[in-house]
Amino acid sequence: MKLPDTSASWYNTTMSLQECEKLCLRNCTCAAYSNLNISDGGSGCLHWFNNIVDLRELKEGGQDFYIRVSAVSGLVKNGMDKRRLAGIVIGCATLIISIVILGLIIRKKLMHPGKAIYWRDKNDKEDIDLPIFEFSTISNATDQFSERNKLGQGGFGPVYKGVLVDGQEIAVKRLSKTSGQGMDEFKNEVLLIAKLQHRNLVKLLGCSIQQGEKLLIYEFMLNGSLDYFIFNSTKTKLLDWTKRFHIIDGIARGLLYLHQDSRLRIIHRDLKTSNILLDINMNPKISDFGLARIFGGDQAEANTNRVMGTYGYMPPEYAVHGSFSDKSDVFSFGVMVLEIISGKKNRGFCDPHYRLNLLGHAWKLWIEKRPMDLMDEQLQDSVISSELLRCIQVGLLCVQQRPEDRPNMSTVILMLNGEKSLPNPGEPGFYIGSDNQPLADSTIRSSGECSINEASNSTLEPR
């Protein structure tokens, strides 16, 4: 036979024909298989999926082609005409494929009416069309969620690396049964990110809710999260100033898309360095939309009685009163900018002389006209001083105490690229001292802390 079109195929150069057959029989989507190379007597493996297109019998040449069909006794008889045999084989294959496609359509109709997966977005009145993965497929891809494939652990649960049967690498977010995030957060993330397409947002490939599990399947980010680099004394050396500025600019553009340019106006509410993923080219991508909220029409802000997020990145108006807006994300962005520049984490940072957190430390250096002292020492040989100073000033403008004093993200991008003049920043929110105790990221619900430094006597009430 002349082998069919290979646009929907998969290959392996080292498998034997017997191994190729076994792998095809284990995969319910495999329609046919053949040797990849016949010049050396037959080697390698080639699988076809979905429809078999452009298959023809040749009078001479060609190669053996194995079509997956039901076990039918007496299908091949001695002396049967080859043309008749080819017609029977192709006819059987066409019938089987047609039945499979019809079955999939019926199954989809039964499980997911119309285009919907299983939810409709009440805010947008539109069904969500997103692939559903079988739990067994994801379990096999991650080697049954083995520890060696574990990429990290968050408040929501673990994240695993997986490889699908076609070779595609994926990251699987497995919602823990003990997580503070439940079905509402899971649905929220699916509904939001499935509609968003931007180079600085992580891409959601699908989900699974079988066997009591809630799984989100994302594109795999080779370089992991941003915090893995900037807070690691060894890895931080890999981030020169050009890369850091590129990351800052990319995060800003992703946020601008969420706040203004996407079809939905979205407030993320949990921006932090661990939720910024880096692809193979160190392009930043915003992830984890479990706490995100949609703003409609001319809505400027909202309130919640359930304050959730991460210490060190929350603006004062949200942490204390539960009030959030796009300026809440701007505050979190400003914190990340100062962390990227300094290589220090706001949460747990302590100025050795004045007991200030990172924001207070940056503010003090600014008013003392020593802003360059904030710079990570690893940047000494690569920094562009004018860009660094501009980024420090933008970071301080973003973390100002009053939301109305903070710039929006369109203004931030103009300022970062030197296209807009920069005003002098005011005092940052939570300009407080530190008790110099080690602190870890955690979900905030209430706070009674106050300033203990001598430079100011700020409380957690917004000014």
- Residues taking part in catalysis: 270
C-alpha distances in angstroms, 302 versus 84, 170, 298?
Answer: 71, 35, 12
DSSP element (H, E) containing 217: strand 215-219
- Residue 342 contacts residue 362 (beta carbons within 8 Å): yes
Amino acid present at 12? N
- Residue 178 contacts residue 155 (beta carbons within 8 Å): no
| Nearby residues of 189 by Cβ (< 8 Å), 6 or more positions away | 204, 216, 288, 289, 290, 292
Give the E-state strand segments of 240-371 in sequence order: 265-267, 276-278, 284-286, 293-295, 301-303, 323-325
Burial class from Cβ neighbours inside 10 Å (0-12, 13-18, 19+) for residue 422 reads middle
- Residue 290 contacts residue 183 (beta carbons within 8 Å): no
| Number of other CB atoms surrounding residue 52 within 10 Å | 19
- The 8-class DSSP code of residue 428 comes to B
Q: Is 64 helix (H, G, I), strand (E, B) or coil?
A: coil
Q: Using only the alpha carbons of the chain, give its radius of gyration.
A: 28
Amino acid present at 159? V
**Can you tell me the distance from the alpha carbon of 173 to that of 203, in angstroms, rounded to the nearest whole number?**
13
- The 8-class DSSP code of residue 424 comes to P
**Can you tell me the distance from the alpha carbon of 97 to that of 103, in angstroms, rounded to the nearest whole number?**
10
The closest of 323, 327, 325 to 303, measured between CA atoms, is 323
Output the CA angle 38-42-44, nearest 5 degrees. 100
**Can you tell me the distance from the alpha carbon of 129 to that of 134, in angstroms, rounded to the nearest whole number?**
16
**Can you tell me the distance from the alpha carbon of 350 to that of 335, in angstroms, rounded to the nearest whole number?**
15
DSSP element (H, E) containing 184: helix 183-193
